Amino acid sequence: MTFEERVKALDRLIQEFLQKTNQNGMVKPKDVMPYLIEKGVYKSDNRNGNPLRKDLRKLKDMNMLNRITGLVIKPKTRNTYWYFKRV
């Protein structure tokens, strides 16, 4: 799966996960990872959602974070905290 295909799948599947689980608050990448692995976007999870966070950092570097619907970013001095909300 190319990066472009993965980004399109992430946008669709994250919102699908939030709808299925009836989540209305903020959800961390580590909570979404099992669903993304089940759907075949990622092969495995290491370090509590690191593959997803890595792709989000890549999108941030490309200035394309708007491609993920419902993404909430909380930048701190050392780290960035990523969350997803249902739209």
pLDDT (tens digit, 9 = 90+) per residue, 8-64?
Answer: 999 999 999 999 998 888 999 999 999 999 999 999 998 999 999 999 999 999 999
Identify the pLDDT of residue 58.
Answer: 97
Q: Sign of dihedral through CA atoms 63, 71, 76, 5? A: negative
Identify the pLDDT of residue 25.
Answer: 87
Q: Which domain holds residue 7?
A: 3-84
Paired residues of 83 in beta bridges: 72
pLDDT tens, residue by residue, 62-86: 999 999 999 999 999 999 999 999 9
Domain count, the chain: 1
